[in-house]
Structure 1
Amino acid sequence: MRYEGPIYRPPSEADALLIQATVGCPHNKCTFCMIYKNGPRFRIRPVQEIMADIDSASRMYGPNVKTLFFPAGNTIVMKTDDLAAICIYARNVFPDLERITVYGSSQYIHKKGLSSLKQLADAGLNRIHVGLESGNDDILRHVKKGVDAKRQIEAGQWVVAAGIELSLYVVLGLGGVALTDSHADATANALNRINPDFIRLRTFVPKINTPILDDVKSGKFKMLGPHGVLKETERLVRQLNVTSCLASDHYTNYIDVHGKLPESQNQILAQIKAACQLPESQFRPFFIGDQ
């Protein structure tokens, strides 16, 4: 098996076989992301190469692989027929596969449309991990996400309608002090309209070699402290009207809140309220991320 450039996978795909389908990210403009800023340039690997790596993995691990993730940063951008072909091929090689997963940004999902997503579902694609980040258009423009809330909502709704599991990521604190309330409100609205299978919380941490770190250092972007992030989380969770699994499975978060909504909503809110009573010195310190 061959790998090129940074290979990242969601924490929930920790046990998955990784077969690289694309290299880099076709957008690569988000001001908070450092992963592909120094390359390599985005490209899609030839289908025959991907299939050859699937064969190689079969020789190494046998036929009983349960989960498969196709890196890199935006594999959903592949031609629908090609992505469907490698999903079908993987299921033939690994007949016990329970899940095939990719990363995909909303703008590329939106370009595919519902019919192509249904084709991918029929081919065996089970889950797409999507960085929603925020439902606020001002924040999305500032971080150069390349998509607005309307298209993010439509793309998410189409994934759900196609029968593919949707795992959406929200970055707490991404609006800073100035936009914390509107970030929580607009993001809750987007999540309610999409009703994804999973809502995964991340807390904004400025990363090395990113434009947003320059804004933090200059004071242009004022970050929320631990209590600010917790209050934003409370405001977000309080407005959720979804049947999603909520998780904060990431090292950037100040506390771990998780549960099935709406059943766990009051329990999660109580946990956040209790955490707000603790002094900020008891939470993880500020740091600049390097990965």
Structure 2
Amino acid sequence: MHYTGTIWRPPYEADSLILEATAGCTHRACKFCTLYDELPFKFKVSELPTMESDLLEAQAWFHDPLSKIETRLFGLPAPKHCRVFLAGANPFALKAKRLIEISDLIREYFPSCKTIGCFARVTDVASKTDDELAALREAGYTGLTIGIETGDDAALAFMNKGYAAQDIVAQCARLDAADIAYAFFYLAGISGKGRGIEGARLTTAACNQTRPSLIGANMLTIYKNSELYQEILDGNWEEETEIEKYQEIKALVEGLEIPVEFAMLGASNPVMLQGRLPEQRGQLLAALESIINDIGEYRLRSYRTNLRHL
């Protein structure tokens, strides 16, 4: 298999066939992000013959059916079939024509493959027409994972995300219209010291206008090679404490009014949680309160400072 650098995938794509379609990120300007610093280029597209070679190799060993969690999260059909997750920071940035060529190639080698997922930026959705989104859904693209990070416009602008909260709402409405399911990644701590709860409030205001299958919360971890670290040294931004981050997550869980799976499963989370809203809101809030009161800032901060890599 041809893989470039560290391969990132959502926790719930663990049973999917990981096929590299791109490497790097088309944006690569977020101040906090260091995920692709090891790559000597910004963004690269895999050649179709290379992907075909990987699919041929994968035929020899990949026979897993769609996992139960994917079926539940993205409303996918229960019959056994494989799912492919395209590797890369945002393969959905590719032109619709190329994405459909990839889906045709996947089906040639895996006729049982019914769904294809990948990471996507809000701007990747905006670059597609409504007809293209409909065609991509017909081609099997569903269960996108979108790192919205926050609905706090000030934080989005400071971090150079390249979109605003209203863009999240508008583009997700277009995904809904095309029947393309999607999950969100939220980044606790992105609003900065003293603004976490306000950031959570603004995020719930945006999320409550959308229909994500899952909201996965991760904790901001700042590395010295990030642009954000230099902003801290220059006195332009202050990091939230670990307790503030959990208070922010509590505000997020309290404010979400939509039916959605909530999860904290990535390595950036010292304690992993998962539950369904609104049914398990009470249990999630109790668990978060316990983390704040029983684990405390020192132990949580120790985890953060010793987290060498995400």
TM-score by length of 1: 0.91
> Secondary structure at the residue paired with 1:193?
coil
| Alpha-carbon spacing, 1:223–1:64, altered in 2? closer, same or farther (3 Å) | closer
CA deviations on 1:128-151 (whole Å, 9 max, x unpaired) are: 111000111110111111111111
**Counterparts of 1:143 and 1:62, CA distance in 2:** 39
Matched-pair contact (CA < 8 Å) for 2:188–2:248: yes
Ranges in structure 1 where 5+ consecutive residues have no aligned partner = none
One-letter amino acid of the structure 2 residue matched with residue 32 of structure 1: F
- Residue number in structure 1 paired with 2:41: 40
**Counterparts of 1:195 and 1:34, CA distance in 2:** 29
1:175 and 2:191 matched:
yes
Superposed displacement of residue 199, structure 1 = 0.3
Matched-pair contact (CA < 8 Å) for 2:28–2:42: no
CA deviations on 1:231-277 (whole Å, 9 max, x unpaired) are: 11111111101111111011212433321111111221222223222
One-letter amino acid of the structure 2 residue matched with residue 189 of structure 1: A
Ranges in structure 2 where 5+ consecutive residues have no aligned partner = 66-81
- Residue number in structure 2 paired with 1:161: 177
More deviation, 194-203/28-37: 28-37
Matched-pair contact (CA < 8 Å) for 2:24–2:88: yes
Superposed displacement of residue 217, structure 1 = 4.0
- Residue number in structure 2 paired with 1:117: 133
| Alpha-carbon spacing, 1:231–1:63, altered in 2? closer, same or farther (3 Å) | closer
Superposed displacement of residue 10, structure 1 = 1.7
More deviation, 265-274/90-99: 90-99
**Counterparts of 2:48 and 2:94, CA distance in 1:** 10
> Secondary structure at the residue paired with 2:209?
helix
> Deviation above 4 Å: which 4+ runs of structure 1?
62-65
CA deviations on 1:26-54 (whole Å, 9 max, x unpaired) are: 11111111122353231222334323322
- Residue number in structure 1 paired with 2:297: 280
| Alpha-carbon spacing, 1:237–1:89, altered in 2? closer, same or farther (3 Å) | same
Note the 1:164-203 alignment, pairs <5 A: 164-203=180-219
**Counterparts of 2:4 and 2:268, CA distance in 1:** 26
1:259 and 2:275 matched:
yes
Note the 1:8-157 alignment, pairs <5 A: 8-37=8-37, 38-58=39-59, 60-61=60-61, 66-97=82-113, 99-157=115-173
**Counterparts of 2:63 and 2:290, CA distance in 1:** 48
- Residue number in structure 1 paired with 2:238: 222
TM-score by length of 2: 0.86
